[in-house]
Amino acid sequence: MFLIFVGIIVITFFLPLCGVWILVKLTDLAKAHPKPAKYTLIIMFMILMVAGGFKIRDLYYKKSPYYFWNELIKKTPKPNDITQEEFEAKNRAGYCWRDRKYYSKEELWYKAMKSLTGRMIYENKFYWDNKVVNINDDFLPTEEECARWNGCRVFKISMNPDKEKFLKANIENKSDFWKGIDILIKHNEAQSFIFASDKNYVNDDFKLKNYILIHKLDNPAYLSVYDSNSCCTVLNKSEWSLRRKNYILKNAGIDTAAFMQESRIPMDININSWGIGNFYFDVRYSYLISVTEFVAGDKREIPKDTREVFLLNNCGDILYKPYYFVPNLTQ
């Protein structure tokens, strides 16, 4: 309390007095030596501009801990012709106001798969926009790496035996594998998503069943693989309550670059009244260190799967963060 009081005194009295003192000194200097005073003012102005620029950058890149929550809320706003009471009651019942309907778990699965892909695309954009920083908070030229390795994108590949044979025939090295993917894309046998505005992503309803998603960032040696047949499950509240004890909510801590900042859910509200938390999306994927591991299916080399659970809204959109995860997954 004492330190807070001292801080208030300093901000209220000391800093303004310092400002007045500096102004008086500059005025005296200007009268005695007009030319040096001019250069002094120019230098001070440049220093203020640089300091202000860093402050603006910090404000721009540092998001509110409720940023992702607020973004999800914006996707299903309350209609103007509906009372708050009706809005909240139907939200708790699982109603999607945006689409004006109740969704089954199967219908939500398709939408959640698209939303999950959108989360990957959001992460990719972080790299395309050069927003990744190193330990010294210097921005890295990640856009160059994305372009160099044809990375920072999500591949969606519908699978069948012939296509699997084709991919396995192209794994002598990574470049051959990605050339194989390019051939599939050229013949409309696979898709590549880079930005959320890409027409093929916008128009895709994700209603295929047998496909894989490959999330490739700027490093060609690492990729995340999601098999639609086994990766993802929509859970209702009752199903989630039976599994909840095995999971930890991740608000902050070590995470990928796009999700490094602290993210929270408001504590003083019933999230179900906002149409969130009636359903959950259980996601399991493999984080691999080589293309060969994925295509050849060498289970001896593939690390244990990563499992995360995301909150869904009633329309099938996932909350990017916070999310639940299983530490040291052994199952």
pLDDT digits (tens, 9 = 90+) for 185-235: 988 889 999 999 999 999 999 998 899 999 998 877 778 889 999 999 999
The domain boundary residue, chosen from 44, 61, 78: 61
Residue with the larger pLDDT of the pair 195 and 326: 195
243/134 same-domain check: yes
- Note whether 62 and 131 are within 8 A (CB): no
The Cα angle at residue 170 between residues 307 and 228, in degrees rounded to 5: 30
Q: Which of 40, 61, 82 marks a domain boundary? A: 61
Same domain (yes/no): 51, 187: no
Q: Do 88 and 146 have their domain in common? A: yes
Could you identify the residue written with the tokens 């303004």? Answer: 16
Q: Does residue 302 carry a pLDDT above 50?
A: no
The backbone region for 180, taken as left when phi is positive above 0, alpha when psi lies in -120 to 50, beta otherwise, is alpha
DSSP one-letter code for 14: I
Residue 178 has pLDDT above 90, yes or no: no
302 and 229 inside one domain:
yes
Domain boundaries, position 53: 2-61
Number of separate domains in the chain: 2
Exposure of 117 by Cβ count < 10 A (0-12 exposed, 13-18 middle, 19+ buried)?
buried
Which of residues 11, 32, 61 is at a domain's end? 61
- How far apart (Å, rounded) are the C-alpha atoms in residues 270 and 92? 9
Short-list 304, 279, 283, 280, CA closest to 232: 283
Identify whether 99 is part of a domain.
yes
Same domain, yes or no: 196 and 52 = no
Q: Identify the H or E element spanning 163.
A: helix 161-168
102 and 26 in a common domain: no
Residue 331: inside a domain: no
Q: How many CB atoms lie within 10 A of CB 19?
A: 10
**Residue 330 located in a structural domain:** no
Q: How far apart are CA 94 and CA 20, in angstroms?
A: 61
Helix then strand count (H, E) for the chain reads 12, 11
Structure tokens at 54: 């860093």
Q: What is the rounded distance in angstroms from the CA atom of residue 199 to the CA atom of residue 242?
A: 39
Question: Do both 95 and 226 map to the same domain?
Answer: yes
- Position 313 in a domain: yes
Q: Which pLDDT score is estimated for 43?
A: 64
Average pLDDT across the chain, whole number: 81
> Based on the domain organization, do 178 and 311 belong to the same domain?
yes
Is residue 245, in this structure, part of any structural domain at all?
A: yes
**pLDDT for res 300:** 40
pLDDT band at 309 (very low <50, low <70, confident <90, very high): very high
Residues 137 and 47 both lie in one domain? no
Any domain includes 44: yes
Do 105 and 145 fall into the same domain? yes
- For residue 296, tell me if it sits in a domain: yes
Q: Say if 93 falls within a structural domain.
A: yes
Instruction: Check whether residue 57 and residue 76 sit in a common domain.
Output: no
Classify each residue of 70-79 as buried b or exposed e, where b means 16 or more C-beta atoms within 10 Å of its C-beta.
Answer: eebbeebebe
pLDDT digits (tens, 9 = 90+) for 249-286: 999 877 787 898 899 999 999 999 999 999 999 999 88
- 139 and 11 co-located in one domain: no
